[in-house]
Amino acid sequence: MGGHSPFDRSFAFARRPAAAPLFALFVFPGPVCASNAASDAALSAEAVALAGTESTATERAMSPPSYGPPGETPGIPSEAELEAAGAVVGEILIDNQNIFNLEDPKDDVKLFRLADHLHGRTHKSIIRDQLLFRSGERYSRRLIDESERILRADSYFYDAWIRPVRYHDGKVDLRVTTRDVWTLNPGFNFGRSGGTNSTGVQLQELNLLGTGVAVKVAHTKNIDRTESQLEVSDMHAFGTWTAVDVNYANLSDGRMHDLTLNHPFYALDTRWAAGLAGRNDEQTDHLYDRGQIIDQFQDRHQAVQVYGGWSHGLQNGWVRRWSSGVTYDEHVFAPVSTWTGVTAIPEDRRFLYPWLQFDLVQDDYLKLWNHDQIARTEDFHLGTTASVRVGWADAALGSSRSALMVQSSAGRGLRSGSSTLLLAGTLTGRLENGEPRNALLAGSVRYYVEQNEHWLFFTALEGTKGWRLDLENQILLGGDNGLRGYPLRYQDGTARALWTLEQRYFTDWYPFRLFRVGAAVFFDSGRTWGSAPLAAPSLGLLKDAGFGLRFGNARSGLGNVVHVDLAFPFNGDNSIQRVQFLVQTEQHF
């Protein structure tokens, strides 16, 4: 946690975000529910026993608000006092709450009782295994906060909190509270963006029988291909921090076979990491411009990566990590027999290279609400991050040509009053014969201003510049990456910029006790530059504006925020519809 895994770049097969089952969410709202992370959670019988002498007034004081963390227990020394006194962790109570709080009359209805009955609650052992502290160890608020972040990152929890509930004989008893979400998706998917629909039917379970194992069987269709997929993943296999992911798919234009076995730097103080990943994919790559396919070719991709990493852990608020590995990455291209348009085929390439990576991570996190999510805890990393990987592929050792391989990134966050600024940048590519190849420089600035508990202003500026990109890698701008009033993959170039303004509104409306509702008014402006292969000249600066609703899935882990938008393009060519209707599932507001 808190930094880049060596699998974050090159090729990574971590669990993919689940598309929201819109049909099931709206037609069968009960079974597709998951918990409101902080709705009136009462202490379980076990928790009451642990609290011991707590009074009824104390129990009332500990009741959480409609959302947000549970209240603090009166009579417990402050965090600083506990650490100064050398307190140790006593008993650890795991309060693994179900989807609905049936002690709340508003949740105690037949449909919600059925959902709780059908849902297999996350096993206490799965939660306990992810904690960074054990009974008998020194009390550390830092480890408690980091453990909360780890639990909140699991797709099968709506939220997680860890609170002291009793202090006695130099020991602090802790209650770990998690709230499950509905993780079974036996339904249909639908999305619309840039004038194009995507559909699918699938059986997906993100938390099989409460074990944290994810299983997905799906058949989907989008603008590129039809796909039949089977994926099984376990981010904590055998009760450890080892992640296993197997993904097997038959595509209308090929196949996808991926395997990952990875023990990551899971926490700031983790001392080692190691992993192995393999890929054997074949598919048709499409090049786009003006929302239309302008070229296509077959791409057979085979890759293997193995690595190991080491660190001295967290020292004075900073983490320094070293990783070393070997990567084999090969692409073989061929024409598509059914394609009758202009055909340009990328050059085959094969790179076999050792590499060395350095990561720097600063321990500085902030918890916020109603920024990119609706009524749930959001962990913002404000500390400095930096990562540099350098490898050498030599033609004498099996590579198609010699090249210096470079991957790097950096980020920083700033907080002032009610404003938050996030900066990020990446630089990747190759250096061949002293010239950059497939080099890509990208940067972003994200700025949030909290106006009050319901209103938030947001703006973002993103830019990308490429140099001698491999033909299959395009820099595109359109309805699928931020320019909401235009078709998917509308403009192609060698550089792009996008500026977004949003006025966000977070309501208290909680329809059917299933969704948190928000709204947004937005303006997008962007353009591309340069002459990309086969692409028409840039249309210059494109602008759109629009408005829409946001539905935060307060009871489901199958997609965080559903967007329903109307967007109005200001310019472009005559083929563009004057109004774009978009339905999308996003990981953010």
DSSP 105-168: TTT-SHHHHHHHHHS-PPPHHHHHHT-S--TTSBP-HHHHHHHHHHHHTSTTEEEEEEEEEEEE
Q: Which of 241, 243, 249, 310 is nearest to 277 (CA)?
A: 243
User: Which amino acid makes up residue 476?
Assistant: L
Residue at a domain's end among 452, 476, 502: 452
Query: Do 297 and 432 share a domain, yes or no?
Result: no
Residues 170 and 41 in one domain: yes
β-bridge pairing 385-393 and 403-416: antiparallel
Q: Six-digit token pair at 145?
A: 């906060």
Residues 156-209 have pLDDT tens digits of 999 999 999 999 999 999 999 999 999 998 766 666 555 566 666 878 899 999
Round to whole Å and give the CA distance between 527 and 506: 30
Residues above pLDDT 90, as percent of the chain: 72
| pLDDT for the residue numbered 575 | 81
Same domain, 339 and 365: no
Quote the CA–CA distance of 562 and 19 in Å, as a whole number.
10
Per DSSP, 26 falls in state: H
Let me know if residue 274 belongs to a domain.
Answer: yes
- Statement to judge: residues 259 and 151 lie in one domain: no
Select from 204, 202, 156, 210 the least CA-distant residue to 184. Answer: 204
* Integer Cα distance of 22 and 425 in angstroms: 34
The reply to whether 524 falls in a domain is: no
Residues of the chain scoring pLDDT < 50: 10-68
546 is a domain residue: no
Cα 451 from Cα 360, distance rounded (Å):
33
- What is the domain extent for residue 401? 359-452
Evaluate whether residue 63 is within a structural domain: yes
Same domain, 252 and 228: yes
C-alpha span between 17 and 208 (Å, rounded): 16
* Per-residue confidence (pLDDT) for residue 246, from 0 to 100: 97
Tokens 């009793």, residue located: 166
- What's the domain count of the chain? 3
What whole-number distance in Å separates Cα of residue 428 and Cα of residue 155?
Answer: 30
C-alpha span between 43 and 64 (Å, rounded)? 11
Strand partners, 455: 505
* Dist. CA 264–CA 340, nearest whole Å: 46
Domain boundary among 180, 198, 231: 180
CA gap 488, 483 in Å, rounded: 9
In a domain, 217, yes or no: yes
Same domain flag for 100 and 233? no
- Residues 243 and 306 occupy one common structural domain: yes
The answer to whether residue 434 sits within a structural domain is yes
Same domain, 149 and 232: no
Asked if the structure places residue 277 within a domain, the reply is yes
Among candidate residues 311, 346, 381, the one where a domain is terminated: 346
| pTM of the predicted structure, to 2 decimals | 0.86
**How is residue 417 written in tokens?**
């009053």
Indicate whether 586 belongs to any domain: no
Cα separation of 483 and 585, whole Å?
16
Strands 171-180 and 88-97, by their bridges, are parallel
Do residue 64 and residue 170 come from a single domain?
yes
The phi, psi pair for 25, rounded to 5°, reads -60, -40
DSSP 551-574: EEESSBSS-SEEEEEEEEE-S--T
List pLDDT tens digits, range 462-506: 999 999 999 999 999 999 889 999 998 999 999 999 999 999 999
pLDDT score of 558:
76
Same domain assignment for residues 173 and 210? no
Residues 281 and 323 in one domain: yes
Within this chain, do residues 374 and 320 fall inside the same structural domain, yes or no?
A: no
